[in-house]
Chain A
Amino acid sequence: MKQFILTVLIVILSLPLIYAQKLKGSDTVLPLSQKEAERYMKANPSASVTITGGGSGVGIAALMEGTTDIAQSSRKIKFDEKQKIQESGNTVKEVIIAYDALAVIVHPSNKVKNLTREQLDGIFTGKITNWKEVGGEDLKIIPYSRETSSGTYEFFKESVLKNKNYKSGIMSMPATGAIVQSVSQTKGAIGYIGLAYLNKEVKAIGVSYDKGKSYALPSIATAKDGTYPIVRPLFYYYIAKSEKKVKPFLDYVLSATGQKTVTEIGFIAL
């Protein structure tokens, strides 16, 4: 009995000594990190990686407080966040682990094939309200957005709307799946989703950032060669001091096997 208790004690005490790493942040990156960690731990049984979501902002805040080793983020670290970390005497390191393209989707019966950034801007800020203004039939446009807390919401606002606010009273859905569902059953709908969520029930739209000279449909290929414009990097952030601790996992994610997982999840490999 005594021996048993002793063994348990030793096991408990030695747990933190094994390379335990914590990842926290973006919900967009969450499924990727989970899959990567699962495979990484299978390959290295001694390693332990725990992953939690909460949003990009939450992850970076946790990095500042030192409660996580890696912050996963679907947006670039903000200037003041970087500044705060520097004030505490640390430097933050950034690694791009994958890319994600945002697809603009409409109902399959919609005749509109292409839209320019300016037209999308007008639709989501409420200046364009009917499909006939952009070459479609006479039908009211119903734009769908994500919730304000989402990183996808922020990125679309920054890239497509040039930091203007969405029109007040835009339909906002709690999850990407809900946007797909709603767009697939609403004739005049338009919405934006991560490339991984694109399916046959909705139609993706060609987007142009050069005022209509060239349009590109979202796909892994067009996002990779840079012809599709709404592409965002997905980041891991860590403190330079703890580089040694996080390096093995980072190397695994950036390796060929790690990047294969990226494609499997539906993101774009580096």
Chain B
Amino acid sequence: MKRILERIVELLLTISGAITTIVILLIVVFLFREGLGLFQSSNVEKGYCLCVNTENTVLQLTPFQIKQIFDEEIDNWEKLGGPDEEIVVFRFSDSFLDSYSEEELGKNLEFLPEKLGEVIRGTPGIIAYLPVQYQPINQRGVRILQDGKIKLSDFLGGSEWIPTATPSPQFGVLPLILGTLWVSLFAILIALPLGLGVAIYLSELAGEQMRKILKPAIELLAGIPSVVYGFFGLVIIVPLIQKGFHLPVGETAFAGSIILAIMALPTIITVAEDAMQTTPQAMREASLALGANHWQTIYKVIIPYSISGISAAVVLGIGRAIGETMAVLMVTGNAAVIPHSLFEPVRTIPATIAAELGEAPSGGPHYQALFMLGCILFLITLVVSISAEIISKNKSQAKGI
């Protein structure tokens, strides 16, 4: 009877382990499956096409060129290798229908493609943005521009993130990746010395009374919701930075870094302190017996002994900083530019996903691009944890501990 019970418990434990692993794998697979669909999508908005006059020699346009044309930044076909003709931008809208009577267009708009064809034929420099079902197929004087697929190089190397631009959305994630790394890097540079300092103090120097007050206080810090941190940052830290550094705008990468540092502190302190606490009493006493003073014992014995725990603290801190969403969303200004200094607005990957997933049409390129961002975030944290693993392994082997 007892044996059977043991078997059942064993089985249950195995199953729960297996289920957790499978679920994690499935999430990763799902993330990549949704994200990779992006590179199957056309770079012109779905259901629409671009038409030009046949006299035009330009055969294909990149998404960035299309955006520049429709923003009136490029105004002559010559700049794109075409004839010397001014570009006329035509967007199909309901008002176009109003200029024709119902008989001219037909009951179900069956003559609409013809009318659109006429317009395109009559304007040599036109670029028309039309719904696919009304595109003038096989008409004299009209050529439909070939649309390409969204390229990986454009995605990773592009410097503009305007996912709702029509006709051609801009998915350049470089500013987002750099923004995320930039904010996290400075957050960890602020949090690490502070966090380790507090951890050493708590573990080695603080008296029993002090520990009793400080420990719960720090743990409380971890329990504050991130929105509260964000609001605190927006109302207190942002104006302080703006006034303190005489900046035109206070929502900067620096504000994000400070908030993230505060948020990562409890994690770093708790994990590092736990690691230091595990140093055997015998080792401390041995060090002191050899004539080392308190400070020498700390940095020659305790820190080397607990180095793997400390690097775990660092990794968890970085992970917290990279993945943090709400607080950063509120204080960094969310401008998708490649950061050049600490005192400029930046936009991070998690903030982008949180802000945009709500209204991105499910299954569309924008939605897939956001999933792709999730994949990139996943890969970044994966690299960070693997490298930390390797570092701590090497260290402990070298010391022979």
Contacts and interface: CB of A to CB of B under 8 A. Distances in A.
Decide whether A and B are members of one complex.
Answer: yes
Given A163-B70, A169-B175, A186-B249, A174 B359 contact: no
B165 A165 contact: yes
Contacts of A169: 175, 335-337, 345
B248 interface: yes
Interface in A38-90: 54-55, 57-58, 61, 79-80, 83
A240 interface: no
Nearest to B337: A169
Contact of B248 (A58, A154, A188): A188
Given A55-B358, A58-B359, A186-B242, A171 B234 contact: no
A260 interface: no
B294 to A, nearest CB: 47
A189 to B, nearest CB: 7
Contact of B335 (A55, A170, A186, A189): A170
A166 B337 CA distance: 13
A142 B175 contact: no
A189 B249 contact: yes
B329 interface: yes
A174 B329 contact: yes
A57 B362 CA distance: 10
Given A83-B131, A168-B160, A169-B175, A185 B242 contact: yes
A160 B242 CA distance: 30
Interface string B63-95: 000010011100000000000000000011110
Contacts of B159: 168
A148 B248 contact: no
A148 B91 contact: no
B67 A165 contact: yes
B162 interface: yes
A140 B250 CA distance: 13
A182 interface: yes
B335 A79 contact: no
A77 to B, nearest CB: 10
A171 B160 contact: no
B335 A171 contact: yes
Given A79-B94, A142-B248, A168 B162 contact: yes
B35 to A, nearest CB: 18
B251 interface: yes
Contact of B164 (A125, A148, A181): A148
B232 to A, nearest CB: 12
Nearest to B159: A168
Interface string A130-150: 000000000110100001111
* Number of chain B interface residues as a range: 35 or more
Nearest to A184: B239
A139 B248 contact: yes
Interface string B141-173: 000000000000000000111111110001000
B162 to A, nearest CB: 6
Given A171-B333, A174-B329, A185-B250, A79 B93 contact: yes
A80 B131 contact: yes
B361 interface: yes
Contact of A178 (B91, B175, B330, B361): B330
A173 interface: yes
A187 interface: yes
B234 A163 contact: no
Contacts of A142: 248-249
Contacts of B239: 185
Contact of A174 (B249, B337, B355): B355
Given A54-B359, A55-B358, A170-B335, A182 B92 contact: no
B216 interface: no
B139 interface: no
Contacts of A245: none
B356 A147 contact: yes
Contacts of A148: 162-164, 356
Contact of A149 (B160, B162, B330, B355): B355
Contacts of B94: 79
B348 interface: no
A218 B333 CA distance: 26
A109 to B, nearest CB: 13
Contacts of B234: 178, 181-182
Nearest to B333: A171
B220 interface: no
Given A79-B93, A140-B248, A188-B248, A150 B70 contact: no
A111 interface: no
A187 B361 CA distance: 36
B360 interface: yes
Contacts of B40: none
A79 B95 CA distance: 11
Contacts of B161: 168
Interface string B122-152: 0000000001010000000000000000000
Interface in B241-286: 242, 248-251
Interface in B334-392: 334-337, 345, 347, 354-356, 358-361
Given A142-B249, A154-B164, 20 more contacts: A54-B358, A55-B359, A79-B93, A79-B94, A79-B131, A80-B48, A139-B248, A140-B248, A142-B248, A149-B359, A163-B166, A165-B162, A166-B162, A168-B160, A168-B161, A172-B334, A181-B235, A182-B234, A185-B238, A188-B248
6 contacts: A83-B133, A163-B70, A166-B162, A171-B249, A171-B251, A188-B248
